[in-house]
Amino acid sequence: MTSPFLYFAGTRLSGAELCAARLDGHVVELGEGWIPADAVETAALRAASLEGLLGATLAATHLSAAWVHGALPDPPARHTVQRAVAWRVHQVIDRRRIYRDLRVHPDDLMLLGGVQVTDPVRTLADCARTPDDAHTIAARLLADAEPGLVGRAAEWLDAHGPLPRKRSALALLAGLAARTMAADREAPRKENGETATPVEAAATLVEGRGDERDDVVTRSTTW
Domain boundaries, the chain: 119-183
Question: Measured at the alpha carbon of residue 47, what is the angle toward residues 46 and 50, in degrees to the nearest 5?
Answer: 100
User: What are 36-78's pLDDT values in tens digits?
Assistant: 999 889 999 999 999 999 999 999 999 999 999 999 999 999 9
> Measuring CA to CA, how many Å separate 207 from each of 179, 202, 212?
20, 9, 10
The candidate with the shortest Cα–Cα distance to 50, out of 25, 27, 75, 87, is: 75
Give the predicted TM-score (pTM) of the model: 0.79
Helix boundaries (H) for 36-193? 43-48, 51-54, 62-68, 120-128, 133-145, 149-159, 166-186
Segments of the chain scoring below 70 in pLDDT: 1-2, 184, 186-223
Report pLDDT for 193. 56
